[in-house]
Amino acid sequence: MTHTTARVTHRRSPRPPRPPRPPRLPYSLHALYPVPPHHRMGGRAAGRMLPQVAALAGLATLMGLAACDATAPIATPTVRIAATGRAERGSTLALELRDGSGAIPGNEVEWVATSSTGRSAMVSTPGQLRLLDTGLVTIIAHGHGKTATITFHVEMPPTIVFDMHDVDSSGNLGNRDVYRMTLDGQALTRLTSGAGDNEEPTVAGGTVIFTSYRDGYPALYRTTIGGAQEARLVGLTGPAYQPALAPDGAHLAFVAPDSGADKVWTAAADGSGARRATVGWGTVDAEEASPTWAPDASGLTFVSTAFGDAGLVALTTATAATPAQLRSLTASGSTTDVEPSWSPDGGSIVFSSTRDGDVALFLYAVATGTVTRLTPAPANAGEPSWVSDTRIVYTQWSYTADGPSSQLVWVDVAHPEVVHPIVTPPGMPEHAQPVR
């Protein structure tokens, strides 16, 4: 997407001139654990999401958590630790010690964090726990002569693939290449090489397919999430770009020219059996772009100008019982909606749009057709993609006298006002996709 006006046809990205575990904490955890210090750890709690408050006493019994000081006063049934945040490396949890009358003031609570690795967590400021590594973490709180403890497992963040420029020691931008990295900016690994730009990665089942310009024109190549040898998709002999693997890893959608206009095509994951997905629909000169698969691979959503301005169109693929069906989602001819991405549960589609005057992210509710804005105004955001939970990763652009710049960020759909930057090296990162 060009982020002054939305694009549909394929364009190169804008760039400056080259020079066994215990229970896990969910996102919003207000876990109330009364913990006598003589208990020992044991058992597991089923599921990740927070149970009702009435069930928490039973969960605490299953966990059997203990304070490490056997001489500490026994906690009353109303003393508990409340932790809010995501139990994931790189995150920060907000902590409170609560008794029957509410939260004990932070300056009257002593917090101690211990971990299985010796460095999994650190109390950065009173009531703030920084999660530095994966592994078991135990939090002990002392306040008003009372003690409470919780233990949980710190998870590794989801992994994404994306593309960015290689940058030399003088800061000059080179070709774009595909990289792998976790959301907290760790484990950065380059996956591609070659004499031309490599961009627009898509990944499923350990396979990464991307657009490469090493042949002098855009063509689809493949590698693995581990960075194995790169190879062109032998089933595709002409230009192709904007690849999208289905979650099952067996199906591929992409964009390629046909009679002078970009159209959506489908094929097997190796590029064999390629065929146009929209034959007989729309007009010859209508542009199509940005295909994305439904979670069950039963169909595609893509962008089309068949109704005027760019809008979202849904394609249900043909089966033995029913023919393929196409229907407009947001294509009204009066808005510009591009870059769709399905949620893992199939209930929503996130997309980028200029419908409010800026370039922002919106959610389309599949059941009702309702469109709601996600990113706060003003925004300059695009290329959204759902991570395999409630998070969306996208590209955020800015422009200065030195030229354009970009940054990858993520938001939780329940708290879109809180933007989490993803730390990458310099190089204008773009096109982030989750590793499924």
Structural domains for the chain: 53-154 (2.60.40.1080), 159-434 (2.120.10.30)
| DSSP 8-state assignment for residue 53 | G
pLDDT of residue 201: 98
| CA dist., res. 104 & res. 127, Å (int) | 11
Q: 41 pLDDT band (50/70/90 cuts)? A: very low
What's the mean per-residue pLDDT of the chain?
82
Out of 58-67, 76-85, 135-144, 259-268, pick the least confident.
58-67
Contact at 8 Å (CB) between 314 and 331?
Answer: no
How does 245-264 read in b/e, with b if 16+ C-beta sit within 10 Å?
bbbebebbbbbbebeeebbb
pLDDT of residue 195: 80
Q: 321 pLDDT band (50/70/90 cuts)? A: low
The larger pLDDT score, comparing residue 146 to residue 125, is at 146
pLDDT of residue 398: 92
Please state, for a pLDDT cut of 70, what percent of the chain lies above it: 80
Residue (of 380, 332, 324, 384) closest to 357 by Cα position: 380
| DSSP 8-state assignment for residue 401 | T
Contact at 8 Å (CB) between 31 and 83?
Answer: yes
Give yes or no for residue 101 having a pLDDT over 70.
yes
pLDDT of residue 148: 94
> How do the residues of the chain divide into helix, strand and coil, expressed in percent and rounded to 5?
5, 45, 50
pLDDT of residue 111: 92
| DSSP 8-state assignment for residue 76 | P
| CA dist., res. 374 & res. 361, Å (int) | 5
Q: 1 pLDDT band (50/70/90 cuts)? A: very low
Out of 2-11, 254-263, 292-301, pick the least confident.
2-11
Give yes or no for residue 179 having a pLDDT over 90.
yes
Give yes or no for residue 8 having a pLDDT over 90.
no
Q: 318 pLDDT band (50/70/90 cuts)? A: low
pLDDT of residue 206: 95
Contact at 8 Å (CB) between 225 and 434?
Answer: no
Taking the model in full, what pTM does it have? 0.80
| CA dist., res. 71 & res. 66, Å (int) | 12
Contact at 8 Å (CB) between 164 and 185?
Answer: no
pLDDT of residue 333: 66
| DSSP 8-state assignment for residue 179 | E
Q: Name residue 44's amino acid.
A: R
